[in-house]
Amino acid sequence: MTSNTVVPAAFLDRDGVINVDSGYVHRVDDFHFIPGVLNACRSLHVAGYKLLVVTNQAGIAHGLYDEQAFNEITDWMSNRFVEAGAPLAGVYYCPHHPAARIARFRRECGCRKPAPGMITQAVREHRIDVSNSFLVGDKASDLEAAQRAGLLGYIVRSGGCTLERNDRSGEFESLAAVVDHILGKRARPTA
């Protein structure tokens, strides 16, 4: 691969897509992978997709945990991906929130989804082929961020959220079902 080569990527939200969203997950003891996630990500990696996590982390802004705690759980999570044969190419997070309790994180920013900042930064840093990439999230803000960045977007119910619209053509039960669909293994969106 030359330095001018662009590659496809799978952009993944964290809570509700990779792990069970039990509310501001920041300790290893509270981090539980959603079944099938690591195997699905290995399949994406083998198929040539870079794996990139893009996650809002308002818990930092609200003082529920700090960036060190986030980095520790991220290192632990990343090691599980490596062990599964699905190394993450990057983890991007937004610690900001317009109603943050911690002043230095209180602001509107271009990185907090639905803004596309984390995605566009990753596209630049990893030379991503946007036309062949996609994002999987569990909230409407994830889909909006994908759209604003020029990506296909899929939503998963494993995070407990369903789309509030009539067209659910991009809604799946889990990340594993999205990956089966992307890789042509016949998974269909849920109605």
Is 188 a domain residue? no
Is 4 a domain residue? no
Secondary element (H or E) of residue 53? strand 50-56
pLDDT at 163: 53
- Return the CATH number at 137: 3.40.50.1000
Condensed to tens digits (0 to 9), the pLDDT of residues 40-99 reads 999 999 999 999 999 999 999 999 999 999 999 999 999 999 999 999 999 999 999 999
Is 189 a domain residue? no
Mean pLDDT (the chain) is 92
Decide which of 163 and 138 is more confident. Answer: 138
Is 107 a domain residue? yes
Is 187 a domain residue? no
pLDDT bucket at 157, cuts 50 / 70 / 90? confident
pLDDT at 189: 52
Q: 42 with 85: CB under 8 angstroms?
A: yes
Range(s) of the domain holding residue 72: 9-182
Is 61 a domain residue? yes
pLDDT at 89: 98
> How many domains would you assign to the chain?
1
